[in-house]
Amino acid sequence: MAKPLVRLRLYLPPHPSSIADMESSKPSNSPQQVAGSGSFFRMGPAVWLATGGWIGLIPVAPGTFGSLLGLPLAWGMALLPNVGLQAGALIAVFIVGVPICTAAARRMGGLKDPGSIVLDEVLGMAITLFMAPLEPPRFAVFFAGFLLFRLFDVVKPPPIKYLEALPNGLGIMADDCLAGVFAGSCLQLLLWSGRL
């Protein structure tokens, strides 16, 4: 009786040059890949600021965590002695934030609006709570403002969505600032109606 033939297949690892070719064919400019390589933390102060001290590296809902980071900024601005200084501080953050986001997006591979950049959410949240009564701590106001801002930031009804088409850091910042204006207006209506 004939014995069945046994075939052995040997696995040979790919040649080192072919491994290098495969790695070079992969896209390497996404924020997730850059962060995973460890080089994200060497990209300079613009990236550090734009990602909210690397809060934007959180893989799930970085915009939500960036918005939470805007709550202490709103609290700090509310402690300024008058509305003029508070408004001036918001404008200053916007003016400085545009070139920061432009530089950060370029350092992160030239993406239009990387999800890791959360400085826009930080400012948008602060705009939402502008002129809202935060002293003494009114957690219902913070919570309502947070939910309203996330709603407008995620849904982006017109004309908010159109501002995304603006170039560079201006497009990154402007849509979230307008979302903050819309959310803040709704928050003021809730306060005026006595529902908060």
- Cβ neighbours of 54 (radius 10 Å): 14
- Cβ neighbours of 123 (radius 10 Å): 23
* pLDDT 10s digits, 41-56: 567 889 999 999 989 9
pTM given for the model: 0.78
Inter-helix orientation angle 168-192/83-107, to 10°: 140
Burial of 66 (0-12, 13-18, 19+ CB in 10 A): buried
What pLDDT was estimated at residue 12?
44
Could you tell me what percent of the chain has a pLDDT over 90? 63
* pLDDT 10s digits, 108-158: 887 788 889 999 999 999 999 999 988 777 899 999 999 999 999 999 999
Nearest partner of 74 among 120, 117, 124, judged by Cα: 124
Distance from C-alpha of 22 to C-alpha of 19, rounded to nearest angstrom:
5
Distance from C-alpha of 172 to C-alpha of 150, rounded to nearest angstrom:
16
